[in-house]
Structure 1
Amino acid sequence: MFRKRLVLAMSHLQLLGFLIAVLKISHISAQNLPYIQCPMIFRYLEYENQFIGHLKLVLDRTNTENVVRVELSQPGRDTPSSPGSLNFLEDQDSLRYRLSNNEPINYRIDFPTPGVVPKLTKVSVNGEVVCEARPFGAPSSRLTLSRTLGTSVPLSAIPPSQRTDHQWPQTPQRNYTVYEVEEETTQRRRPQQPTPRPRPQQPPTNQRPRPQPVPQLPQEPEFQTPARPPVRPSNPSAQVSKSYPQTIGQLSGICGREKIIQTPFIHNGIEVERGQLPWMAALFEHVGRDYNFLCGGTLISARTVISAAHCFRFGSRNLPGERTIVSLGRNSLDLFSSGATVGVSRLLIHEQYNPNLYTDADLALLQLSNHVDIGDYIKPICLWNENYLLELPSGHKSYVAGWGEDEKGNRNTRLAKMTDTDIITQWECRGNLSEESAKFITSHTICASNAQASGPCSGDSGGGLMLQEEDIWMLRGVVSAGQRMTNRCNLTLPVIYTDVAKHIEWLVRSMWF
């Protein structure tokens, strides 16, 4: 095993040597170059008759993310239009190896103005300054660069039998995935605030389309995200000693409040901004080396997500919770974007769920393998209680969001979309559906419709039907069944949701804190 590790280490050293050779980098003298305050981690190199910076830092492998921020001082009166760039000098395999073995990560700094060499004035890692020097005197400009190196799983959280720093197989298994996010590559500028748009009013409608003869039963989840290396379940941050709400009363003090967002709801479905509807969850199934998008879900506590039972049990489908991961804090299906990816330690299907009449109790609870840290981007929604109406009147405004099939026929949308929809009575719902479809309407379901034919479609199953009561968001239903015609959803017809309020006792009794 030691020989294998030695061979792998040598291969990575050769890779770095190859990269440097390709760049044709050579050492130069310090003549006419700015003073270097910390030569142990930074030096100037020559590349194609220009200077670049070489930074090397040992990062904390136990962190989910390591943020490196660099400040430079550029002499002269002219402020460059770009601050330059901060990039890695290695590929992902080498980054993963170096991070797990406490070896320096190599960065390359490209300066913005040919012939002008800035002075390194500050280097910080995760907010802690590791090098600092005085900037040039006036006139000069300050340049700021940032690069984040993250792993989908902190290595310290991997069980000892799987720790890659204990042993390396000849072909390293991708037990976690290294990714990079460039956070700040511009100079300080005042962000532009989007102009709030008025919420359009939905025109009244006196006629609803007649039902189509074929109901839409839950489709086998067939939609796949682009093939990527598997992402291991992880805690969203490396912080410890957190306290989490332990009761419904404690949850009520934080639930249902979203980050302030400039974009209001409008008809026909618009993209959800990150921080908007921070309880939205995307469920993925682990298939081979890939994770395929499965269904939507809603966070209701720091350790519980609610979704639809038919996502896991329907027909020949019997998906165990252990093969599911939950994505939180993202408006995107991209698991490499900022957010949390958490495993599932237990799956609980409602005991009254019947695949033959699934809408009546189409509920599943997922116990997350770790508590998630609650903040602006991850927050539970509130649950129904007796202070709110149980029987909603026709036309009561509700909202739904998800990553499912769109009006163009795309199987999934990359970014979540949302729309408003109107509650309709049981009588109205039955009157707009065929006799075969109407049997899925029960005393434990709720229907909603939209005159603009926008709403949930295939892939949105398990997502939440949400109400906004005095700026507090509440979960009222779970997307269960809709209607199809030919190869697309027929959203001129009502969508049937399992009514969470009618199952509130089961939910409160069964959820985890």
Structure 2
Amino acid sequence: MGIVSQTLRFAVLALCLRIALTQRLPPNGCGNIFQYRRQGDHWIGHVTPPQDGLKSVSWTLRFVSHGVNRPGKISSMAPYPNRKTALQNMHDGGRAECFVRFTDFDDELPKIVRIELNGQVLCTASEYEGSSTTSTRELNMAVSSTTTYKMYESPPLPTRTIPLFDSIDPESFYNQLVTYASVPAPTTAKQTPRPTTTVTRPVAASPGTSWVSNDNPFLKPLTSIKPIVTVDTRHEPVEYECGVEGLVGLQIGGETLPRGRFPWLAALYHDINVDPNKIELSYKCVTTLISARTVITAAHCIYGMTPAQLRVYVGRHDISMHPEKDATLMAVQSVHTHPDFVGNLVPDLDVGLLVFTERVQYSTYVRPICMWTSKTALGIDDSEQTAVAGWGIDANFKPTRFPSTVNVRKVSQEQCLREMVTAKDFLTPRTFCAGNSQGHGPCLGDSGGGLMVLRNNRWFVRGIVSLAQRSGNGCDLSRYVIYCDVARHLGWIERNIVR
């Protein structure tokens, strides 16, 4: 009896193995990314990113199978060949591979019909006609690294008087409506050799001036000392809650923000030094952190710029300090502006995204705001607080050192047009107006900032600061400000955001 039982078990095992090895493979239109492979007595689906160097990946795979309630199971996605190896490979600049395992399918394996990586669709295929079953599998992987570099102290920066708005032609339509252009950067800058002394404190500079560093932290150090790099392979990225603000100042009226109240507030800089071994940064616009690797801003702040020309300071508060404690200067991997935005200032297309080369480290001063979603009600109730914040010029047309915030109220387009006729050519279904009865609001230097809505004790980004009425060297804030409506661009944002 024992011999018969053992023989039967071998026969069943052989049959299962034969079935596994003779299963039909479905059409695969994603062969450059996805491969069906045999692994022992099972089939797996092996996925490889199309590019090297990704420090964070978020995969979504969708499969379809013939019929319903049929046998067969698709496992959860997992790093390939194992978690530790995959994460170390990511850190070393390789590709973050992963896989799924197929078990108990009688004849044909499930067909891959959609692959998304970091919110971008890489591949699609037609689904089956008639009854079918779809299955979706997701996986998030990331590595965090800490690099120690030698830092040097800069010589004192000279005090410079920088003209405001010299790029604005007073004869153009900007006499009516202007962008929130930032303080222009100087066209030339001489570099002073650095003494090789160790930095012991942040270097202060006058607000609004650019700052110069001969040490580019985004390149390998030009010394023989290797940076110390650590890789966290023990857990997934830290869980966080979006839209949770920090401490608030107890004062009435327009207020200077205490540090960390809006931890998603970040400053955009242009690097105006063409030497790749040096950086010279000039403050330009406001950005808003919407994920660990993405900020949202106005398209006109980043249009025509390359990633190497842009830097984002997350956790930023005092823009006169370089570096600033607990703030991080992030390198940009990719620049995205709405495809219909071609440089002409049209507010309904004035939206852009910057994707970092690495994930930010969440902290008291660095956390994302919540994104508006298709399920979020479009209307903003009068009882809901709405606000904007940034480092724009003050009432005396001077650059500010610390960010300020002000409450504003969204109004109907009819009301906006009644009180601001010059807005008629700029209002569309993808824009809205908001203002403040006291004449407070964003001005030059606040461009790209988010209009924030407090809903259910969380802040959501709803608009992007785009245009305002011009008045002399500043803005007429007794009139309304025109915002690009984020809620009208959710599809484009979801296709380009990297989490």
| TM-score using structure 1 length | 0.53
Give the equivalent residue in structure 2 for 1:222. 184
The 1-side partners of 2:284 and 2:470 are apart by 19
Give the equivalent residue in structure 2 for 1:109. none
The one of 284, 298, 301 aligned to 2:269: 284
The 2-side partners of 1:244 and 1:400 are apart by 33
Q: Is the 8 A contact 1:352 1:361 kept in 2?
A: yes
Matched, 1:312 2:302: yes
Give the equivalent residue in structure 2 for 1:431. 418
The 2-side partners of 1:244 and 1:477 are apart by 31
Q: Is the 8 A contact 1:461 1:479 kept in 2?
A: yes
Q: Matched residue of 2:460: which SS?
A: strand
Give the equivalent residue in structure 2 for 1:511. 497
Give the equivalent residue in structure 2 for 1:485. 471
Residue by residue, what CA displacement relative to the aligned partner does 1:332-375 show, whole Å, maximum 9, x if unpaired? 21232111111111101111224335201111111111111112
Give the equivalent residue in structure 2 for 1:471. 457
Amino acid corresponding to residue 456 of structure 1 in structure 2: P
Calculate the aligned-residue CA RMSD, in Å. 2.8
Aligned-residue offset at 1:254: 1.4
Amino acid corresponding to residue 468 of structure 1 in structure 2: L
Residue by residue, what CA displacement relative to the aligned partner does 1:280-333 show, whole Å, maximum 9, x if unpaired? 0101111125210011100000000111110123xxxx3222111110112121
The 2-side partners of 1:419 and 1:231 are apart by 37
Matched, 1:358 2:343: no
Larger mean Cα displacement after TM superposition, 353-362 or 493-502: 353-362
Q: How does 1:91-490 map to 2 (within 5 A)?
A: 154-155=147-148, 177=152, 214-219=176-181, 221-222=183-184, 224-229=208-213, 232-233=216-217, 240-241=231-232, 254-259=241-246, 261-264=247-250, 266-268=252-254, 270-288=255-273, 289-313=279-303, 318-333=304-319, 334-338=321-325, 339-392=327-380, 397-410=385-398, 412-435=399-422, 437-490=423-476
Q: Is the 8 A contact 1:281 1:328 kept in 2?
A: yes
Q: Is the 8 A contact 2:347 2:467 kept in 1?
A: yes
The 2-side partners of 1:394 and 1:310 are apart by 30
Q: Matched residue of 2:290: which SS?
A: strand
Return closer, same or farther for 1:233/1:465 CA change in 2, 3 Å cut-off.
farther
The 1-side partners of 2:148 and 2:356 are apart by 19
Larger mean Cα displacement after TM superposition, 425-434 or 466-475: 425-434
Return closer, same or farther for 1:326/1:440 CA change in 2, 3 Å cut-off.
same
Return closer, same or farther for 1:177/1:278 CA change in 2, 3 Å cut-off.
farther
The 2-side partners of 1:226 and 1:355 are apart by 25
Aligned-residue offset at 1:265: 7.2
Q: Matched residue of 1:498: which SS?
A: strand
The 1-side partners of 2:230 and 2:250 are apart by 33
Q: Equivalent pairs: percent with the same residue? A: 32
Q: Is the 8 A contact 2:270 2:283 kept in 1?
A: yes
Return closer, same or farther for 1:213/1:429 CA change in 2, 3 Å cut-off.
farther
Q: Matched residue of 2:353: which SS?
A: strand
Q: Is the 8 A contact 1:395 1:423 kept in 2?
A: no
The 2-side partners of 1:320 and 1:442 are apart by 29
Q: Is the 8 A contact 1:296 1:459 kept in 2?
A: yes
**How many residues are matched?**
297
Aligned-residue offset at 1:267: 2.4
The 2-side partners of 1:457 and 1:376 are apart by 28
Return closer, same or farther for 1:238/1:272 CA change in 2, 3 Å cut-off.
farther
The 1-side partners of 2:406 and 2:152 are apart by 34
Give the equivalent residue in structure 2 for 1:102. none
The 2-side partners of 1:244 and 1:497 are apart by 36
The 1-side partners of 2:463 and 2:374 are apart by 16
Q: Matched residue of 1:301: which SS?
A: coil
Q: Structure 2 regions of 5+ residues with no counterpart? A: 1-145, 155-173, 186-207, 220-227, 274-278
The 2-side partners of 1:244 and 1:459 are apart by 37
Amino acid corresponding to residue 289 of structure 2 in structure 1: L
Q: Matched residue of 1:293: which SS?
A: strand
Residue by residue, what CA displacement relative to the aligned partner does 1:106-143 show, whole Å, maximum 9, x if unpaired? xxxxxxxxxxxxxxxxxxxxxxxxxxxxxxxxxxxxxx
Q: Is the 8 A contact 1:335 1:341 kept in 2?
A: no
Aligned-residue offset at 1:228: 3.8
Q: Is the 8 A contact 1:310 1:358 kept in 2?
A: no
The 2-side partners of 1:479 and 1:230 are apart by 33
Amino acid corresponding to residue 423 of structure 1 in structure 2: K
Q: Is the 8 A contact 1:244 1:302 kept in 2?
A: no
Q: Is the 8 A contact 1:327 1:335 kept in 2?
A: no
Residue by residue, what CA displacement relative to the aligned partner does 1:426-481 show, whole Å, maximum 9, x if unpaired? 1111112124x321111111211001111110111111110111211111111111
Q: Structure 1 regions of 5+ residues with no counterpart? A: 1-152, 157-163, 165-175, 180-211
Q: Matched residue of 2:489: which SS?
A: helix
Matched, 1:501 2:487: yes
Q: Is the 8 A contact 1:278 1:376 kept in 2?
A: yes
Return closer, same or farther for 1:394/1:357 CA change in 2, 3 Å cut-off.
farther
Larger mean Cα displacement after TM superposition, 218-227 or 453-462: 218-227
Q: Is the 8 A contact 1:266 1:420 kept in 2?
A: no
Q: Is the 8 A contact 1:393 1:423 kept in 2?
A: no
| TM-score using structure 2 length | 0.55
